[in-house]
Protein backbone atom coordinates (compact mmCIF):
# COMPACT_ATOMS: atom_id res chain seq x y z
CA UNK A 1 0.00 0.00 0.00
CA UNK A 2 1.04 3.59 -0.39
CA UNK A 3 0.58 7.22 0.48
CA UNK A 4 -0.48 9.79 -2.07
CA UNK A 5 0.32 13.50 -2.26
CA UNK A 6 -1.34 16.14 -4.39
CA UNK A 7 0.75 19.31 -4.39
CA UNK A 8 -0.83 22.48 -5.81
CA UNK A 9 -2.50 20.47 -8.54
CA UNK A 10 -4.26 22.55 -11.16
CA UNK A 11 -6.28 21.41 -14.14
CA UNK A 12 -7.53 23.54 -16.99
CA UNK A 13 -9.73 22.40 -19.86
CA UNK A 14 -9.07 25.06 -22.49
CA UNK A 15 -9.12 28.21 -20.36
CA UNK A 16 -11.53 26.83 -17.75
CA UNK A 17 -9.90 26.20 -14.41
CA UNK A 18 -11.42 22.95 -13.12
CA UNK A 19 -9.05 22.33 -10.22
CA UNK A 20 -7.27 25.21 -8.58
CA UNK A 21 -4.14 24.44 -6.56
CA UNK A 22 -5.39 21.33 -4.80
CA UNK A 23 -3.03 20.09 -2.08
CA UNK A 24 -3.83 17.08 0.05
CA UNK A 25 -1.86 14.24 1.57
CA UNK A 26 -3.38 10.81 1.88
CA UNK A 27 -1.62 8.46 4.22
CA UNK A 28 -0.90 4.79 3.76
CA UNK A 29 -4.01 2.70 4.63
CA UNK A 30 -6.22 5.76 4.85
CA UNK A 31 -9.79 5.77 3.56
CA UNK A 32 -10.30 9.28 2.20
CA UNK A 33 -13.59 10.36 0.67
CA UNK A 34 -13.61 13.32 -1.69
CA UNK A 35 -17.09 14.79 -1.62
CA UNK A 36 -18.65 17.72 -3.41
CA UNK A 37 -21.43 18.67 -5.79
CA UNK A 38 -21.60 17.55 -9.38
CA UNK A 39 -19.00 19.25 -11.55
CA UNK A 40 -16.67 20.34 -8.73
CA UNK A 41 -13.74 18.38 -10.18
CA UNK A 42 -13.71 15.17 -8.11
CA UNK A 43 -13.48 12.74 -11.02
CA UNK A 44 -10.87 14.85 -12.76
CA UNK A 45 -8.70 14.68 -9.63
CA UNK A 46 -8.95 10.87 -9.53
CA UNK A 47 -8.29 10.57 -13.25
CA UNK A 48 -5.13 12.66 -12.90
CA UNK A 49 -3.94 10.38 -10.09
CA UNK A 50 -4.65 7.34 -12.25
CA UNK A 51 -2.77 8.94 -15.14
CA UNK A 52 -5.83 9.16 -17.38
CA UNK A 53 -5.77 12.97 -17.47
CA UNK A 54 -2.85 15.32 -17.95
CA UNK A 55 -1.88 17.64 -15.10
CA UNK A 56 -1.81 21.34 -16.05
CA UNK A 57 0.33 22.34 -13.05
CA UNK A 58 1.46 20.88 -9.75
CA UNK A 59 2.74 17.46 -8.72
CA UNK A 60 1.30 14.11 -7.74
CA UNK A 61 3.38 11.65 -5.72
CA UNK A 62 2.64 8.02 -4.96
CA UNK A 63 4.90 6.58 -2.28
CA UNK A 64 7.14 9.63 -2.59
CA UNK A 65 7.66 9.07 -6.30
CA UNK A 66 6.63 11.85 -8.67
CA UNK A 67 4.19 10.21 -11.06
CA UNK A 68 3.24 13.17 -13.30
CA UNK A 69 4.89 11.53 -16.27
CA UNK A 70 4.54 7.87 -15.33
CA UNK A 71 2.30 5.75 -17.55
CA UNK A 72 -1.05 4.71 -15.96
CA UNK A 73 -0.16 1.01 -16.13
CA UNK A 74 2.97 1.64 -14.07
CA UNK A 75 1.25 3.53 -11.24
CA UNK A 76 -0.11 0.41 -9.48
CA UNK A 77 -3.51 1.93 -9.10
CA UNK A 78 -6.88 0.25 -9.65
CA UNK A 79 -9.99 2.26 -10.35
CA UNK A 80 -13.61 1.21 -9.86
CA UNK A 81 -16.07 3.20 -11.93
CA UNK A 82 -19.71 4.11 -11.47
CA UNK A 83 -20.79 2.23 -14.62
CA UNK A 84 -18.83 -0.98 -13.71
CA UNK A 85 -17.31 -1.14 -17.23
CA UNK A 86 -17.46 -4.96 -17.36
CA UNK A 87 -16.80 -6.78 -20.65
CA UNK A 88 -20.23 -8.16 -21.62
CA UNK A 89 -18.85 -11.15 -23.54
CA UNK A 90 -16.69 -12.41 -20.69
CA UNK A 91 -17.71 -14.41 -17.63
CA UNK A 92 -17.24 -13.00 -14.15
CA UNK A 93 -14.04 -15.01 -13.83
CA UNK A 94 -12.71 -13.77 -17.17
CA UNK A 95 -13.60 -10.20 -16.31
CA UNK A 96 -11.80 -10.47 -12.99
CA UNK A 97 -8.71 -12.11 -14.45
CA UNK A 98 -8.47 -9.96 -17.58
CA UNK A 99 -5.80 -7.50 -16.41
CA UNK A 100 -3.69 -10.31 -14.94
CA UNK A 101 -3.89 -12.30 -18.19
CA UNK A 102 -2.74 -9.21 -20.07
CA UNK A 103 0.26 -9.04 -17.74
CA UNK A 104 0.94 -12.70 -18.64
CA UNK A 105 0.86 -13.68 -15.00
CA UNK A 106 1.22 -17.36 -14.12
CA UNK A 107 -2.14 -19.13 -14.52
CA UNK A 108 -2.10 -20.68 -11.05
CA UNK A 109 -1.41 -17.30 -9.50
CA UNK A 110 -4.27 -15.77 -11.50
CA UNK A 111 -6.65 -18.48 -10.40
CA UNK A 112 -5.60 -18.11 -6.75
CA UNK A 113 -6.10 -14.35 -6.82
CA UNK A 114 -9.48 -14.55 -8.56
CA UNK A 115 -10.77 -17.18 -6.13
CA UNK A 116 -9.50 -15.24 -3.14
CA UNK A 117 -11.21 -12.03 -4.32
CA UNK A 118 -14.38 -13.94 -5.23
CA UNK A 119 -14.51 -15.40 -1.72
CA UNK A 120 -14.11 -11.94 -0.15
CA UNK A 121 -16.88 -10.54 -2.35
CA UNK A 122 -19.18 -13.59 -2.20
CA UNK A 123 -18.87 -14.15 -5.92
CA UNK A 124 -17.55 -17.72 -5.88
CA UNK A 125 -20.82 -19.22 -7.09
CA UNK A 126 -21.16 -16.63 -9.83
CA UNK A 127 -17.76 -16.99 -11.48
CA UNK A 128 -19.13 -18.70 -14.60
CA UNK A 129 -21.98 -16.23 -15.14
CA UNK A 130 -22.04 -13.49 -17.74
CA UNK A 131 -22.50 -9.86 -16.56
CA UNK A 132 -26.03 -9.68 -17.97
CA UNK A 133 -27.01 -12.51 -15.61
CA UNK A 134 -26.04 -10.43 -12.56
CA UNK A 135 -27.85 -7.82 -10.49
CA UNK A 136 -26.47 -4.27 -10.29
CA UNK A 137 -24.92 -4.93 -6.88
CA UNK A 138 -23.28 -8.15 -8.11
CA UNK A 139 -21.86 -6.37 -11.15
CA UNK A 140 -20.39 -3.71 -8.94
CA UNK A 141 -18.82 -6.43 -6.79
CA UNK A 142 -17.22 -7.91 -9.92
CA UNK A 143 -15.83 -4.47 -10.77
CA UNK A 144 -14.38 -4.26 -7.26
CA UNK A 145 -13.04 -7.84 -7.61
CA UNK A 146 -11.27 -6.87 -10.79
CA UNK A 147 -9.50 -4.15 -8.82
CA UNK A 148 -8.64 -6.40 -5.86
CA UNK A 149 -6.94 -9.13 -7.94
CA UNK A 150 -4.40 -6.60 -9.17
CA UNK A 151 -3.25 -5.98 -5.57
CA UNK A 152 -2.79 -2.29 -6.31
CA UNK A 153 -1.06 0.22 -4.09
CA UNK A 154 -4.11 2.46 -4.12
CA UNK A 155 -7.79 1.81 -4.83
CA UNK A 156 -9.77 4.59 -6.49
CA UNK A 157 -13.56 4.48 -6.36
CA UNK A 158 -15.46 6.90 -8.58
CA UNK A 159 -19.08 7.11 -7.38
CA UNK A 160 -19.27 3.29 -7.32
CA UNK A 161 -22.77 3.17 -5.84
CA UNK A 162 -24.54 5.82 -7.90
CA UNK A 163 -26.23 3.36 -10.24
CA UNK A 164 -27.76 1.29 -7.47
CA UNK A 165 -31.14 1.78 -5.85
CA UNK A 166 -31.29 3.17 -2.31
CA UNK A 167 -31.50 -0.20 -0.53
CA UNK A 168 -28.66 -1.77 -2.48
CA UNK A 169 -26.59 1.34 -2.01
CA UNK A 170 -26.88 0.94 1.74
CA UNK A 171 -25.89 -2.71 1.54
CA UNK A 172 -22.91 -2.05 -0.72
CA UNK A 173 -21.80 0.79 1.54
CA UNK A 174 -21.51 -1.67 4.40
CA UNK A 175 -19.75 -4.15 2.09
CA UNK A 176 -17.18 -1.53 1.14
CA UNK A 177 -16.60 -0.65 4.80
CA UNK A 178 -15.99 -4.34 5.56
CA UNK A 179 -13.77 -4.70 2.52
CA UNK A 180 -11.64 -1.82 3.72
CA UNK A 181 -11.19 -3.45 7.13
CA UNK A 182 -10.21 -6.67 5.43
CA UNK A 183 -7.85 -5.24 2.79
CA UNK A 184 -6.45 -2.52 5.00
CA UNK A 185 -5.82 -0.64 1.79
CA UNK A 186 -5.32 3.00 0.81
CA UNK A 187 -8.65 4.02 -0.67
CA UNK A 188 -9.64 7.27 -2.33
CA UNK A 189 -13.37 7.38 -2.88
CA UNK A 190 -15.25 10.05 -4.78
CA UNK A 191 -18.93 10.77 -4.22
CA UNK A 192 -21.46 13.58 -4.20
CA UNK A 193 -23.37 11.76 -1.45
CA UNK A 194 -22.54 13.21 1.93
CA UNK A 195 -24.00 10.17 3.71
CA UNK A 196 -21.47 7.92 1.96
CA UNK A 197 -18.76 10.39 2.91
CA UNK A 198 -19.80 10.54 6.57
CA UNK A 199 -20.19 6.78 6.96
CA UNK A 200 -17.18 5.47 5.02
CA UNK A 201 -14.43 8.02 5.42
CA UNK A 202 -11.57 8.07 7.86
CA UNK A 203 -11.08 11.57 6.51
CA UNK A 204 -13.29 13.69 4.28
CA UNK A 205 -12.10 16.20 1.70
CA UNK A 206 -14.93 18.60 0.86
CA UNK A 207 -14.59 20.26 -2.55
CA UNK A 208 -16.44 22.98 -4.39
CA UNK A 209 -15.58 24.72 -7.66
CA UNK A 210 -12.23 22.94 -7.89
CA UNK A 211 -11.05 24.12 -4.47
CA UNK A 212 -10.73 22.13 -1.24
CA UNK A 213 -13.11 23.70 1.25
CA UNK A 214 -12.17 21.61 4.28
CA UNK A 215 -10.36 18.42 5.21
CA UNK A 216 -11.04 16.53 8.42
CA UNK A 217 -12.57 13.50 10.07
CA UNK A 218 -16.31 13.17 9.46
CA UNK A 219 -17.08 14.38 12.96
CA UNK A 220 -14.73 17.40 12.69
CA UNK A 221 -16.30 18.46 9.42
CA UNK A 222 -19.81 17.93 10.82
CA UNK A 223 -19.24 19.65 14.15
CA UNK A 224 -16.97 22.47 13.00
CA UNK A 225 -17.59 23.33 9.38
CA UNK A 226 -15.03 25.94 8.29
CA UNK A 227 -17.42 27.83 6.05
CA UNK A 228 -21.01 28.15 4.90
CA UNK A 229 -20.55 25.79 1.97
CA UNK A 230 -19.35 22.90 4.15
CA UNK A 231 -22.02 23.67 6.75
CA UNK A 232 -24.74 23.41 4.13
CA UNK A 233 -23.30 20.43 2.28
CA UNK A 234 -22.51 18.08 5.17
CA UNK A 235 -25.38 16.84 7.31
CA UNK A 236 -28.86 15.62 6.52
CA UNK A 237 -31.31 17.26 6.81
CA UNK A 238 -29.43 20.42 5.94
CA UNK A 239 -28.38 22.94 8.55
CA UNK A 240 -30.71 25.90 9.17
CA UNK A 241 -29.34 29.34 8.41
CA UNK A 242 -30.56 32.54 10.03
CA UNK A 243 -29.36 35.75 8.41
CA UNK A 244 -28.97 39.01 10.29
CA UNK A 245 -26.75 41.70 11.73
CA UNK A 246 -24.95 41.61 15.07
CA UNK A 247 -25.83 44.45 17.34
CA UNK A 248 -24.51 45.34 20.81
CA UNK A 249 -26.63 46.62 23.66
CA UNK A 250 -24.25 47.44 26.48
CA UNK A 251 -22.19 44.32 27.02
CA UNK A 252 -24.73 42.10 25.33
CA UNK A 253 -24.74 40.98 21.73
CA UNK A 254 -27.79 40.13 19.63
CA UNK A 255 -28.50 38.88 16.16
CA UNK A 256 -31.21 41.01 14.62
CA UNK A 257 -33.23 40.69 11.47
CA UNK A 258 -36.70 41.94 10.50
CA UNK A 259 -38.52 39.47 12.71
CA UNK A 260 -36.00 38.15 15.20
CA UNK A 261 -33.82 39.38 18.05
CA UNK A 262 -31.65 36.57 19.34
CA UNK A 263 -29.21 36.91 22.24
CA UNK A 264 -25.70 35.69 21.38
CA UNK A 265 -23.95 34.48 24.57
CA UNK A 266 -20.24 35.23 25.12
CA UNK A 267 -19.35 31.52 25.12
CA UNK A 268 -20.61 31.33 21.52
CA UNK A 269 -18.81 34.42 20.27
CA UNK A 270 -16.00 35.70 22.43
CA UNK A 271 -15.28 39.43 22.20
CA UNK A 272 -18.77 39.70 20.81
CA UNK A 273 -19.19 43.49 21.07
CA UNK A 274 -16.26 43.91 18.67
CA UNK A 275 -18.41 42.20 16.03
CA UNK A 276 -21.30 44.65 16.33
CA UNK A 277 -22.46 45.79 12.90
CA UNK A 278 -21.24 42.64 11.22
CA UNK A 279 -23.59 40.81 8.84
CA UNK A 280 -23.59 37.15 9.82
CA UNK A 281 -25.32 33.85 9.20
CA UNK A 282 -26.12 31.66 12.19
CA UNK A 283 -26.10 27.93 11.50
CA UNK A 284 -28.07 25.47 13.57
CA UNK A 285 -28.73 21.82 12.77
CA UNK A 286 -32.32 20.57 12.86
CA UNK A 287 -31.44 18.28 15.79
CA UNK A 288 -30.41 21.33 17.79
CA UNK A 289 -33.72 23.11 17.38
CA UNK A 290 -35.75 22.18 20.43
CA UNK A 291 -39.50 22.38 20.19
CA UNK A 292 -41.98 22.96 23.00
CA UNK A 293 -42.07 24.54 26.41
CA UNK A 294 -39.70 24.31 29.35
CA UNK A 295 -36.34 25.92 29.94
CA UNK A 296 -33.23 24.21 28.78
CA UNK A 297 -29.59 24.85 29.68
CA UNK A 298 -27.48 26.61 27.07
CA UNK A 299 -30.50 27.30 24.92
CA UNK A 300 -31.95 30.49 23.56
CA UNK A 301 -35.14 32.09 24.73
CA UNK A 302 -38.32 30.74 23.20
CA UNK A 303 -39.10 31.92 19.69
CA UNK A 304 -42.70 31.71 18.63
CA UNK A 305 -43.58 30.27 15.25
CA UNK A 306 -46.15 28.39 13.23
CA UNK A 307 -45.91 24.80 12.03
CA UNK A 308 -46.10 24.76 8.23
CA UNK A 309 -45.51 21.11 7.40
CA UNK A 310 -44.53 17.97 9.30
CA UNK A 311 -42.93 14.86 7.83
CA UNK A 312 -43.00 11.61 9.74
CA UNK A 313 -39.81 9.62 9.15
CA UNK A 314 -40.53 6.73 11.51
CA UNK A 315 -39.04 7.37 14.93
CA UNK A 316 -38.19 10.98 13.99
CA UNK A 317 -40.25 13.77 12.55
CA UNK A 318 -39.25 16.85 10.56
CA UNK A 319 -41.11 20.01 11.51
CA UNK A 320 -40.98 22.97 9.12
CA UNK A 321 -41.63 26.05 11.19
CA UNK A 322 -42.01 29.67 10.21
CA UNK A 323 -41.00 32.23 12.81
CA UNK A 324 -41.68 35.67 11.37
CA UNK A 325 -39.69 35.75 8.16
CA UNK A 326 -37.34 32.99 9.36
CA UNK A 327 -37.87 29.40 8.32
CA UNK A 328 -36.52 26.70 10.61
CA UNK A 329 -36.49 22.94 10.33
CA UNK A 330 -36.59 21.00 13.60
CA UNK A 331 -36.08 17.25 13.77
CA UNK A 332 -37.84 15.85 16.82
CA UNK A 333 -38.96 12.51 18.19
CA UNK A 334 -42.14 11.17 16.63
CA UNK A 335 -45.01 11.85 17.24
CA UNK A 336 -45.34 15.57 17.51
CA UNK A 337 -49.08 15.42 17.01
CA UNK A 338 -49.72 18.98 15.91
CA UNK A 339 -51.43 20.00 12.70
CA UNK A 340 -50.11 22.52 10.21
CA UNK A 341 -51.04 26.02 11.31
CA UNK A 342 -50.50 25.25 15.03
CA UNK A 343 -48.43 27.61 17.13
CA UNK A 344 -45.11 26.15 18.23
CA UNK A 345 -42.16 27.58 20.07
CA UNK A 346 -38.55 26.71 19.43
CA UNK A 347 -35.24 27.19 21.20
CA UNK A 348 -31.78 26.91 19.73
CA UNK A 349 -29.01 24.98 21.41
CA UNK A 350 -26.19 27.53 21.65
CA UNK A 351 -23.61 24.82 22.27
CA UNK A 352 -23.97 23.56 18.72
CA UNK A 353 -24.51 26.85 16.98
CA UNK A 354 -22.22 28.13 14.23
CA UNK A 355 -21.55 31.74 13.29
CA UNK A 356 -20.36 32.63 9.79
CA UNK A 357 -19.39 35.98 8.34
CA UNK A 358 -21.85 36.70 5.56
CA UNK A 359 -19.27 38.33 3.31
CA UNK A 360 -16.32 35.97 3.68
CA UNK A 361 -18.59 32.94 4.36
CA UNK A 362 -16.02 31.79 6.93
CA UNK A 363 -16.75 30.52 10.41
CA UNK A 364 -16.04 33.13 13.09
CA UNK A 365 -16.90 31.29 16.31
CA UNK A 366 -14.71 28.67 17.99
User: Interface with ligand ATP by CB under 6 A: which residues?
Assistant: 13, 18, 36, 38-44, 192
φ, ψ for residue 128 (rounded to 5)? -90, 0
The nearer residue to ligand ATP, 79 or 346, going by C-beta atoms, is: 79
93's CB contacts (< 8 A; 6+ apart) are 114, 118, 127, 128
DSSP letter at 197 equals H
Neighbours of 360 (CB within 10 A): 10
Reply yes or no: is the peptide bond before residue 335 cis, omega within 30 of 0: yes
Q: How far is the CB of 21 from ligand ATP (least distance, A)?
A: 15
- 239 vs 12, 120, 331, 349, CA distance in Å? 33, 39, 11, 13
Q: Do the Cβ atoms of 308 and 269 come closer than 8 Å?
A: no
Q: Do the Cβ atoms of 142 and 92 come closer than 8 Å?
A: yes
Q: How far is the CB of 169 from ligand ATP (least distance, A)?
A: 15
Residue whose C-alpha is closest to residue 38's, from 192, 174, 175:
192
Q: How far is the CB of 172 from ligand ATP (least distance, A)?
A: 18
Residue whose C-alpha is closest to residue 131's, from 161, 88, 77, 162:
88
The nearer residue to ligand ATP, 44 or 95, going by C-beta atoms, is: 44
The nearer residue to ligand ATP, 19 or 92, going by C-beta atoms, is: 19
Q: How far is the CB of 313 from ligand ATP (least distance, A)?
A: 27
The nearer residue to ligand ATP, 124 or 236, going by C-beta atoms, is: 236
φ, ψ for residue 96 (rounded to 5)? -70, -30
Q: How far is the CB of 195 from ligand ATP (least distance, A)?
A: 15
Q: How far is the CB of 164 from ligand ATP (least distance, A)?
A: 16
Amino acid sequence: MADVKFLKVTKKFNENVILNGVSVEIKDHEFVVIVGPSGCGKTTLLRMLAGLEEITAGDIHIDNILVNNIHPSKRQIAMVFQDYALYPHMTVEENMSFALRLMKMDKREISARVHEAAAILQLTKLLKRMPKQLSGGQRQRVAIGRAIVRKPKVFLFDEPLSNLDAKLREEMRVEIAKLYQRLNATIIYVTHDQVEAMTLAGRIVVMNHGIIQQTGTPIEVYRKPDNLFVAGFIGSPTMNFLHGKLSAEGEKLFLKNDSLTLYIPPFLLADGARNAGREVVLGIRPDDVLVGSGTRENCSEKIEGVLEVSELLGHRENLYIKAGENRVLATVEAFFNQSPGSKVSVRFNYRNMHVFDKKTQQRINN
